[in-house]
């Protein structure tokens, strides 16, 4: 018997996974009450806003990828764009070279809440009150606060008290950070949720009308009014070390709604892998598969140096293209067909040699070569921002003072399935909006303040986010959803997990437990936007021989703390209707439940 840290969950009724056990249990409780995967996903996600406030919030962003039984895969884009006032001229006038990683200039239109309401209205079966009740209860009556949340708040308590008093009021009641595992309440957030439910119920008894009324209360009602009133006067400190005012307005919020779009997909060894479009980093996983298809991974040891080296080098190539070519396809030409073509990737695969590359090597797309050159130059620049303040958003596993992301995967008894990676609006990103109990997001930091790029700051343009859930279907009828938090590492960890599952037929949980690694070679998406050529991180359980081998090949290897890299969850439906689910043991938070 192969030992795993947790059993692989199996059943036929339903499975729910997320990055916090309370949220997973909430999702399963919705399934038990007759709700479907979409009802459960919304309840799980809103609960995650309460129990993991250092990783996401109501004013954040959310991509979801889903499949209703018997229908095509779809994407919900709840990554909202930059406000009308977010112009290059305005930001450059502040004397900035980079958009700060926190504070009001980093805010785009809040998207997450409307995205969840769109899913609930069109695909759920339950009322708004039914799916929000668990989160309201945990915010009002309290939940045992994660030690990581408590430590994050404690590390920022002085900063909040000096610079963000509205955050101090919510996160350090009575002037003290909560003790780890103590009962923690957010009364303002509970009232906000409750008011949204009440606004919906005032429209009458019809379920969809209630949801639309709540959406309106968010985007054009009391929530938008509170945000607008706050931003008219707010001038707050951010990670740049200076105070700035925001540009988001009530009219920005009222003029935007979450949308549907088709997924982007690639076929690999019998699997069709579906991702969000190039307004996210999702296509890098597909590009990496297109490169690795030309290497015999199955002949390698999945825990060996050959596998690690080959995958790392493929990811460097894919991520270089991300930096050169990805962006909002509604605003720029994004050459995804070219980037995923066999002719292109045969040549990209040949670039993987026996030694680690320390060069940034985006492909040369005809007509867009200037974007590749611009990336190479940008990655070599010193922006003078290396000493980031404590609220810099990036991977949570590297420090408890930084924000991250959450993830959920749910499949119901009818075969509906959802994967979503909500993020943004974490407690480190911005001051709490007075009276609402949550802060704004900081996703605009992923724009550039230089002309002519698909990621140049522009009103109405979506930032190229890192959020990237996955859905995959096999020719034999298997279907699965999976994903992870982790910023730039999300598609790296998912790729490694998926390759081991496909080529070595490892079970879901065994794949979760296997050691992980990632590259830091390419330019980071988060302030201070560093590139670290040739650098990579891996878990020590690979062993000294593998680590030594990789260093011999020219990799600069950083060895992480044991069990610290990756936060994956996954759920799968077999053709006979058996459901399976698994969750990483890392950070001791994620859980899969089901029956």
In a domain, 484, yes or no: yes
Phi and psi at residue 265, to the nearest 5°: -135, 165
According to DSSP, residue 58 is labeled T
pLDDT number for residue 388: 52
pLDDT number for residue 392: 40
pLDDT number for residue 397: 36
Domain end (from 446, 481, 514): 446
CA 108, CA 363: separation in Å to the nearest integer? 30
Q: Please answer whether residues 428 and 54 qualify as being in contact, where contact means their C-beta atoms are separated by less than 8 angstroms.
A: yes
pLDDT number for residue 387: 57
In a domain, 579, yes or no: yes
In a domain, 397, yes or no: no
CA 63, CA 72: separation in Å to the nearest integer? 17
Q: Are residues 440 and 574 in the same domain?
A: no
Q: Are residues 476 and 572 in the same domain?
A: yes
CA 567, CA 397: separation in Å to the nearest integer? 9
How many domains would you assign to the chain?
Answer: 2
Q: Are residues 493 and 441 in the same domain?
A: no
Q: Could you tell me the residue range of the domain that residue 210 belongs to?
A: 20-59+79-251+422-446
Strand partners, 298: none
CA 563, CA 189: separation in Å to the nearest integer? 33
Q: Which of 578, 587, 589 is nearest to 8 (CA)?
A: 578
Angle at which helices 342-350 and 283-292 pack, to 10 degrees? Answer: 70
SS3 at position 592: strand
pLDDT number for residue 403: 57
Helices (H), ranges, 326-415: 336-339, 342-350, 369-379
In a domain, 458, yes or no: no
E strand or H helix at 396: none
Q: Please answer whether residues 543 and 537 qualify as being in contact, where contact means their C-beta atoms are separated by less than 8 angstroms.
A: no
Q: Please answer whether residues 458 and 207 qualify as being in contact, where contact means their C-beta atoms are separated by less than 8 angstroms.
A: no
Q: Are residues 246 and 292 in the same domain?
A: no
In a domain, 206, yes or no: yes
Q: Which of 332, 222, 314 is nearest to 277 (CA)?
A: 332
In a domain, 65, yes or no: no
In a domain, 310, yes or no: yes
SS3 at position 131: helix
Q: Are residues 341 and 429 in the same domain?
A: no
In a domain, 415, yes or no: no
pTM: 0.97
* Model pLDDT for residues 184-230, shown as the tens digit of each residue: 999 999 999 999 999 999 999 999 999 999 999 999 999 999 999 99
Q: Are residues 182 and 231 in the same domain?
A: yes
Q: Are residues 156 and 180 in the same domain?
A: yes
pLDDT number for residue 306: 98
Q: Are residues 495 and 530 in the same domain?
A: yes
pLDDT number for residue 404: 77
Q: Are residues 269 and 199 in the same domain?
A: no
Question: Residues in the chain with pLDDT < 50?
Answer: 389-401
Q: Are residues 176 and 126 in the same domain?
A: yes
- CATH number of 327's domain: 3.60.20.40
Rounded to a whole number, what is the distance in angstroms from the first to the last CA of the chain? 22
Q: Are residues 442 and 566 in the same domain?
A: no
Q: Are residues 493 and 552 in the same domain?
A: yes
* Model pLDDT for residues 417-427, shown as the tens digit of each residue: 999 999 999 99
């Amino acid at each position: 018997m192969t030992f795993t840290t947790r059993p692989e969950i199996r059943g036929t009724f339903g499975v729910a996974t997320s990055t916090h056990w309370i949220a997973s249990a909430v999702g399963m409780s919705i399934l038990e009450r007759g709700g479907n995967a979409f009802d459960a996903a919304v309840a799980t996600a809103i609960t995650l806003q309460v129990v993991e406030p250092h990783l996401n919030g109501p004013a954040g962003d959310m991509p979801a990828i889903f499949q209703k039984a018997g229908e095509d895969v779809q994407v919900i884009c709840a990554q909202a764009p930059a406000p009308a006032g977010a112009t290059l001229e305005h930001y450059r006038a502040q004397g900035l070279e980079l958009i700060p990683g926190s504070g009001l200039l980093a805010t785009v239109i809040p998207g997450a809440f409307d995205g969840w309401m769109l899913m609930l209205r069109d695909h759920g079966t339950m009322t708004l009150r039914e799916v929000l009740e668990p989160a309201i209860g945990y915010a009002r009556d309290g939940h045992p606060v994660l030690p990581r949340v408590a430590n994050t708040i404690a590390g920022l308590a002085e900063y909040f008290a000096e610079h963000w008093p509205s955050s101090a009021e919510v996160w350090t009641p009575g002037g003290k950070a909560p003790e780890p595992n103590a009962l923690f309440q957010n009364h303002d957030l509970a009232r906000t949720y409750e008011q949204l439910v009440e606004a919906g119920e005032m429209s009458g008894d019809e379920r969809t009308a209630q949801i639309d009324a709540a959406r309106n209360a968010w985007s054009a009602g009391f929530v938008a009014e509170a945000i607008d009133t706050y931003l008219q006067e707010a001038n707050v400190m951010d990670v740049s070390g200076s105070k700035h005012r925001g540009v988001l307005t009530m009219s920005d919020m009222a003029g935007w709604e979450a949308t549907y779009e088709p997924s982007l997909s690639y076929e690999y060894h019998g699997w069709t892998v579906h991702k969000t479009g190039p307004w996210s980093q999702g296509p890098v996983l597909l590009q990496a598969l297109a490169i690795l298809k030309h290497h015999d991974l199955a002949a390698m040891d999945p825990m060996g140096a050959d596998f690690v080296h080959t995958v790392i080098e493929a990811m460097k190539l894919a991520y270089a293209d991300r930096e050169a070519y990805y962006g909002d396809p509604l605003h720029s030409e994004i050459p995804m067909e070219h980037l995923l073509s066999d002719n292109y990737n045969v040549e990209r695969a040949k670039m993987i040699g026996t030694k680690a590359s320390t060069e940034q090597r985006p492909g040369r797309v005809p007509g867009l070569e200037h974007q590749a050159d611009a990336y190479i130059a940008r990655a070599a620049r010193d922006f003078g921002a290396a000493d980031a303040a404590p609220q810099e958003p990036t991977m949570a596993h590297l420090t408890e003072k930084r924000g991250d992301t959450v993830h959920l995967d749910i499949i119901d008894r009818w075969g509906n399935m959802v994967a979503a990676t909500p993020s943004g609006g974490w407690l480190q990103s911005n001051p709490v909006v007075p009276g609402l109990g949550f802060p704004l997001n900081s996703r605009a930091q992923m724009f550039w303040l230089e002309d002519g790029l698909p990621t140049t700051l522009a009103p109405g343009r979506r930032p190229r986010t890192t959020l990237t859930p996955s859905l995959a279907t096999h020719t034999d009828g298997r279907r699965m959803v999976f994903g992870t938090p982790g910023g730039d590492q999300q598609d790296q960890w998912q790729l490694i997990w998926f390759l081991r599952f496909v080529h070595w037929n490892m079970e879901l949980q065994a794949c979760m437990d296997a050691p992980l690694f990632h590259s830091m070679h390419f330019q980071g998406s988060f302030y201070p936007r560093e590139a670290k050529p040739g650098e990579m991180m891996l878990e020590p359980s690979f062993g000294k021989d593998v680590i030594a081998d990789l260093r011999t090949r020219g990799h600069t290897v950083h060895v992480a703390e044991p069990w610290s890299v990756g936060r994956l969850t996954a759920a799968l439906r077999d053709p006979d209707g058996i459901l399976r689910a698994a969750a990483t043991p890392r950070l001791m938070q994620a859980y899969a439940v089901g029956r």
